[in-house]
Amino acid sequence: MTLAAADNRSSWTSAIRWRSVTGIWLRHWTSYIRYWKITITWVLIEPAVALVAVGFGIGQLVVEVEGANSYAEFVTPGIIMGSAMFHALFETSWNAYHRIDNQIYETQLTTPITVFELTLGDVAWAVTRSLMTTVSVAAFAVALGWIDQWSAVGILIPAVLSGMVFGTMGFFFAATAPYTVFLSLVFTLVATPLYFFSGSFFPISVLPDWVEPVAWAMPLTPAVHMARGFATNSLEFSHLWSGLYMVGMILVFWPIAVWLMRRRLIK
pLDDT for res 258: 96
Q: How many domains does the chain have?
A: 1
pLDDT for res 5: 44
Q: How far apart are CA 244 and CA 246, in angstroms?
A: 5
- Count the neighbouring beta carbons within 10 Å of the beta carbon of residue 59: 19
DSSP-H helix ranges across the chain: 3-6, 18-33, 36-40, 46-52, 71-90, 96-101, 104-108, 115-144, 149-154, 156-176, 184-185, 192-197, 212-217, 221-231, 237-265
Q: How far apart are CA 134 and CA 43, in angstroms?
A: 8
Query: pLDDT per residue over 30-62, tens digit each?
Result: 988 888 778 788 788 888 899 999 998 988 888
pLDDT for res 173: 95
pLDDT for res 48: 87
Q: How far apart are CA 227 and CA 8, in angstroms?
A: 40
pLDDT for res 7: 55
pLDDT for res 75: 94
pLDDT for res 155: 96
pLDDT for res 215: 95
Burial class (CB in 10 A: 0-12, 13-18, 19+), 24: buried
Assess contact for 220 and 195: CB atoms under 8 A.
Answer: yes
Look up the domain containing 168 and give its range.
Answer: 3-265
Q: Which residues of the chain carry a pLDDT beneath 50?
A: 1-2, 4-6, 8-13
pLDDT for res 14: 56
- Count the neighbouring beta carbons within 10 Å of the beta carbon of residue 194: 24
